[in-house]
Structure 1
Amino acid sequence: MIVTLATYFPLKDLKTNTSLWIENLNPKKDYLFYQQAHPLAIFILQKPLAIIKQEEEAKEILKQGHYVLSPVELNFARQELVLPDPYKKGKYWYVYKALTF
């Protein structure tokens, strides 16, 4: 016996969440991923983005004027945006702005 379990995720939510990403990610800015990539961001920005894994690396990237897209909150950077993940209900992605000193 095979049982298939489908989760209900309204198409309206997917469209709304996707449009938030499209409206808020600017292809002219320099972004990098922290810890993991998100396919929608790559599609919107239309270019490959590097993935940084270390916290120290992320700090240096922010100091250089880049933006960081992260699935986790970073306590050492200034948060610019919180975007709901269109594919996973209840998950959020954070956009951190370049640090200026």
Structure 2
Amino acid sequence: MSLRPPSGLTGSSAGELAFDALGHEILAEKAAALGRAGQRVEETLAKLRDNAEEQLRPQLLKAAAAAVHAYFIQRELCGLRRHDAVIREYNIPRAVLVRLGAS
């Protein structure tokens, strides 16, 4: 039994079609990883905001900074270089950004 590509793809070689499928899979995984990283940012920032104990604040700041750093890296891997809108949207505290080296 032989397989035939869809008519819209007949100009492409089998190697190009396989590469497109792989590229699509890679983009889907990048998007999923970005979503997971964003969810982690939301969770760590919520813990930071909800906590009233001063003793836990340094640990929560460290966790939030690590999550935001990972999220920024994932965004850059997806080609999104500017983070200003994300900082405003997530309302990332200045104390977290300072830990990342931003001022």
The interval holding the TM-score normalised by the smaller chain is under 0.3
Could you tell me the TM-score, scaled by structure 1's length? 0.24
Tell me which protein shows more strand as a share of its residues: 1
- Name which one, 1 or 2, has greater alpha-carbon Rg: 2
TM-score, normalised with respect to structure 2: 0.24
